[in-house]
Chain A
């Protein structure tokens, strides 16, 4: 505005003239973008300018129009235009809901920041040049810079550096915003997953109910058929034939009748056919819910006993579980409902080891006996249970107090009627002279290990002991054999002078002589208190290989077709290659391992902690699972108040993990 200088000249004409010149110049120069004029001012000016320039007539005619004729024609006639409008139309309710802009950067800034640096600057210049006549663009970068070229240069550089810094800030903000966006998406996806998971759970429940219905109809059908058969038989005056198999060897049978007569008598079980086969022998459908649960999430937790769990096993995920504890009881659980189905009563002392296979349960006790049970004869119907509770309230046994279901006490299942398992005992195997510490059966072969330092093989068809294996004798044999005839690993023990390894350090009186064993056909593996793992051939009764390595009593053992995994009180888990007899892998925890099991993916251990130690075979990861870890802050796991008890026993099948603790709690986890 150099024209203002002329205002000092006192001539009126000149003054008036200069004012005119100023105004005109402002009109002409203003839009050109004077560096000193603010954007605001420019806009205001140009608005006024525009208002003035617009003919009055035109404004008065067209002031009522909201849009132009071309627009009107387009929006009402052209089909693609109408389609496009329908697609991009934003309804009024959305327009009504426009929150405050809280973003740290605008989308346009983000756009600018994504463009490559050089090109973008180039663009700016191009724009500002092209539109410098219009009042729009950033005009600070103009040629009005005064001073030496170096100064200009440096100023330019500073500006560009500042600009880049600003851009970087925007990019950073963009990244963090994007991450937040992704987090939201992940959360949404997780929610969706949860919904689908719930749907799956619902379907599985429905499946269960349907299976129950099928079973009920089956039972009715069978009963009816039986009745019809009976009627036909009666009509023909035929004697009824016993339906029981010869496997049964009832203890405490009435001695006054001869065996042949007794067999003809209808047993109590056959007299009430309804009580039999209440439970499906095997579920038709496979539950898969646990496979989709997040690894380590809790499925159930129940106060199974009031004392240390000594043994537990289950047949299948969401199937039937049997637990035993130092309180001398053996309980059967419906894992799906989390309800106690009944007690297996008969042992004189607490059960040390047990196995569940389909509907057969084998229990080995401190009273030196082994008992077999058939759970399919249990009187249990998950749906009848609440009704049964109401009528049998007076008859329920009282030692169930406090054994309510953890999650929701209000629908705590009623204690099972004491008679529910009365038909379950099959027979008793009595030959050991000290407590039975380990057992395993497969098919008709059961092998048990006892504190009397022997292993016994039983034929479950006949219910008799068919072979006794003396571990100490075998150990002595191994030491007298020439090193060439035994495996390389055994030769180490042989050269040590004795077959019975003197580990000393962990050889305490408390350790079970036979810590664990597993049988497969004629192959038997057993781990003993000397830390040795012996592989037997049941046909010859000989040890054909000994695996030396553990320095403490072996407490758990399991093998599949390739590997043998052992857990020991020496705190280590060893994985042996069965084909070579050499060690394949080993790792250790902080405390002695009391129980170990593996499934296709994971090796799980109870190692004296309040969590189950999990080793993932596929990715080699070690992690903890159980109440001791605060996995899900939302669930009650972390808020149990008191510290979770030490895990004593652990079982896993198909990613379905069950652990029993020192305080009698049993936790079920997906793994």
Chain B
């Protein structure tokens, strides 16, 4: 059994009932919530497809990261994953690079790195396309205006 889930695992949301179980457990333990319970809930949230829940999950993970140093290494990966899901690629990269520095052998981190790179590239391309499209459109409109203005003269 692997000790870390692959990024794909984060893409499959839990059933609402399952998430509810985790949430109930988390709320039951209240102020003295255990790390595992907190993580379970956080991981459940990150797996969710709702952006707000994902953010909450990342927040909980960062709390775990702060409070328990012995779990930091693991949390790095989840933070990276969560931020990747949220589309916060800079953050995701920051955590993931750190993890890869610490554990060059880490397969999951390695695969996440490629995923992040991919996604950044794709969105970047899209951004370039959009910017380019706008530029082209502006150019066309500009030239039309220019042409019409020239024609009027």
Spell out A's residues near B (CB within 8 Å): 39-40, 43, 47, 50, 54, 58-59, 61-62, 65-71, 74-75, 84-85, 87-90, 94-95, 97-103, 105-112, 114-115, 119, 123, 126-127, 130-131, 134-138, 163, 166, 174, 177-178, 181-182, 185
Give the distance to chain B from A128, nearest Cβ to Cβ, in Å. 10
Chain B positions within 8 Å of A108 at CB level? 2-5, 43, 74
Q: State the CA gap A40–B107 with chains docked (Å).
A: 8
Partner of A74, one of B5, B88, B110: B88
Chain A positions within 8 Å of B36 at CB level? 107, 110-111, 114, 174, 177-178
Partner of B107, one of A43, A59, A89: A43
Contact: A54 with B121, CB < 8 Å?
Answer: yes
Contact: A136 with B111, CB < 8 Å?
Answer: yes
CB under 8 Å from chain A, chain B span 23-74: 32, 34-36, 39-40, 43, 55, 58-59, 61-62, 65-66, 69-74
Contact: A50 with B91, CB < 8 Å?
Answer: no
Chain A positions within 8 Å of B7 at CB level? 136
Chain A positions within 8 Å of B79 at CB level? 88, 90
Cβ of B147 < 8 Å from any Cβ of A? no
Given contacts A67-B93, A69-B124, A178-B34, contact A90 B66 (CB under 8 A): yes
Chain A positions within 8 Å of B12 at CB level? 123, 126-127, 130
Chain B positions within 8 Å of A99 at CB level? 69-70, 72-73
Contact: A131 with B8, CB < 8 Å?
Answer: yes
Q: State the CA gap A66–B72 with chains docked (Å).
A: 23
Cβ of B114 < 8 Å from any Cβ of A? yes
Q: State the CA gap A519–B41 with chains docked (Å).
A: 67
Contact: A94 with B40, CB < 8 Å?
Answer: no
What's the dominant secondary structure at chain B's contact region? helix
> How many residues on chain B are close to A (CB under 8 Å)?
60
18 contacts between A and B (CB under 8 A): A47-B110, A62-B121, A67-B93, A67-B120, A68-B87, A68-B119, A69-B127, A70-B87, A71-B87, A71-B90, A90-B95, A94-B65, A97-B72, A98-B73, A107-B71, A109-B3, A112-B1, A177-B36
Please name 10 further chain A to chain B contacts, defined as beta carbons within 8 Å, in addition to the given A108-B2, A115-B18, sorted by A numbering. Answer: A50-B118, A62-B120, A67-B88, A68-B123, A90-B66, A98-B98, A99-B69, A108-B74, A109-B1, A177-B36
Give the distance to chain A from B51, nearest Cβ to Cβ, in Å. 10
Q: State the CA gap A39–B111 with chains docked (Å).
A: 11
Cβ of B128 < 8 Å from any Cβ of A? yes
Give the distance to chain A from B4, nearest Cβ to Cβ, in Å. 6
Would you list the 4 A-B pairs with minimal beta carbon distance, nearest first? A68-B123, A69-B127, A136-B6, A106-B3
Contact: A68 with B127, CB < 8 Å?
Answer: yes
Contact: B128 with A66, CB < 8 Å?
Answer: no
Given contacts A95-B98, A166-B1, contact A103 B8 (CB under 8 A): no
Contact: A70 with B8, CB < 8 Å?
Answer: no
Contact: A127 with B8, CB < 8 Å?
Answer: yes
Chain A positions within 8 Å of B62 at CB level? 87-90
Contact: B124 with A66, CB < 8 Å?
Answer: no
Contact: A75 with B32, CB < 8 Å?
Answer: no
Give the distance to chain B from A404, nearest Cβ to Cβ, in Å. 46
**Which A residue's beta carbon lies closest to that of B122?**
A68
CB under 8 Å from chain A, chain B span 70-125: 70-76, 78-79, 87-91, 93, 95, 98, 102, 107, 110-111, 114, 118-125
**Which B residue's beta carbon lies closest to that of A53?**
B118
Spell out B's residues near A (CB within 8 Å): 1-9, 12, 18, 32, 34-36, 39-40, 43, 55, 58-59, 61-62, 65-66, 69-76, 78-79, 87-91, 93, 95, 98, 102, 107, 110-111, 114, 118-128, 130
Given contacts A88-B62, A134-B8, contact A98 B110 (CB under 8 A): no
Contact: B55 with A84, CB < 8 Å?
Answer: yes
Q: Which of B88, B95, B125 has the most CB of A within 10 A?
A: B88
Chain B positions within 8 Å of A47 at CB level? 110, 114
How many A-B residue pairs have C-beta atoms within 8 angstroms? Tell me: 164
Give the distance to chain B from A187, nearest Cβ to Cβ, in Å. 13
**Which B residue's beta carbon lies closest to that of A91?**
B66
Partner of A137, one of B8, B32, B58, B122: B8
Chain A positions within 8 Å of B126 at CB level? 69
Contact: A85 with B107, CB < 8 Å?
Answer: no
Q: State the CA gap A584–B127 with chains docked (Å).
A: 90
Give the distance to chain B from A401, nearest Cβ to Cβ, in Å. 55
Contact: A98 with B69, CB < 8 Å?
Answer: yes
Q: State the CA gap A88–B45 with chains docked (Å).
A: 14
Q: State the CA gap A40–B102 with chains docked (Å).
A: 19
Chain B positions within 8 Å of A87 at CB level? 59, 62
Given contacts A68-B124, A111-B43, A119-B18, contact A103 B89 (CB under 8 A): no
Contact: B69 with A97, CB < 8 Å?
Answer: yes
**Which A residue's beta carbon lies closest to that of B32?**
A185
Contact: B111 with A98, CB < 8 Å?
Answer: no
Given contacts A135-B111, A166-B1, contact A62 B124 (CB under 8 A): yes
Give the distance to chain B from A335, nearest Cβ to Cβ, in Å. 39
Q: State the CA gap A75–B105 with chains docked (Å).
A: 31
Chain A positions within 8 Å of B130 at CB level? 69
Chain A positions within 8 Å of B61 at CB level? 88
Contact: A66 with B58, CB < 8 Å?
Answer: no
Q: Which of B6, B62, B122 has the most CB of A within 10 A?
A: B6
Contact: A62 with B74, CB < 8 Å?
Answer: no
Chain B positions within 8 Å of A88 at CB level? 55, 58-59, 61-62, 79
Q: State the CA gap A90–B92 with chains docked (Å).
A: 12
Partner of B88, one of A75, A112, A114: A75
Chain B positions within 8 Å of A85 at CB level? 88, 91
Contact: B89 with A101, CB < 8 Å?
Answer: no
Contact: A75 with B90, CB < 8 Å?
Answer: yes
Contact: B8 with A71, CB < 8 Å?
Answer: no
**Which A residue's beta carbon lies closest to that of B17?**
A119
Chain A positions within 8 Å of B35 at CB level? 107, 181
Contact: A101 with B74, CB < 8 Å?
Answer: yes
Q: Which of B7, B75, B114, B127 has the most CB of A within 10 A?
A: B127
Contact: B89 with A50, CB < 8 Å?
Answer: no
Contact: B121 with A111, CB < 8 Å?
Answer: no
Chain A positions within 8 Å of B121 at CB level? 54, 58-59, 62
Give the distance to chain B from A94, nearest Cβ to Cβ, in Å. 6
Q: State the CA gap A67–B83 with chains docked (Å).
A: 12
Chain B positions within 8 Å of A126 at CB level? 12
**Which A residue's beta carbon lies closest to that of B78?**
A107
Contact: B120 with A68, CB < 8 Å?
Answer: yes
Contact: B120 with A65, CB < 8 Å?
Answer: yes
Contact: A70 with B70, CB < 8 Å?
Answer: no
Contact: B6 with A114, CB < 8 Å?
Answer: no
Q: State the CA gap A510–B69 with chains docked (Å).
A: 68
Give the distance to chain B from A40, nearest Cβ to Cβ, in Å. 7
Chain B positions within 8 Å of A163 at CB level? 1
Give the distance to chain A from B76, nearest Cβ to Cβ, in Å. 7
**Which A residue's beta carbon lies closest to that of B123?**
A68
Chain A positions within 8 Å of B111 at CB level? 43, 135-136
Give the distance to chain B from A196, nearest Cβ to Cβ, in Å. 18
Give the distance to chain B from A397, nearest Cβ to Cβ, in Å. 59
Give the distance to chain A from B126, nearest Cβ to Cβ, in Å. 8
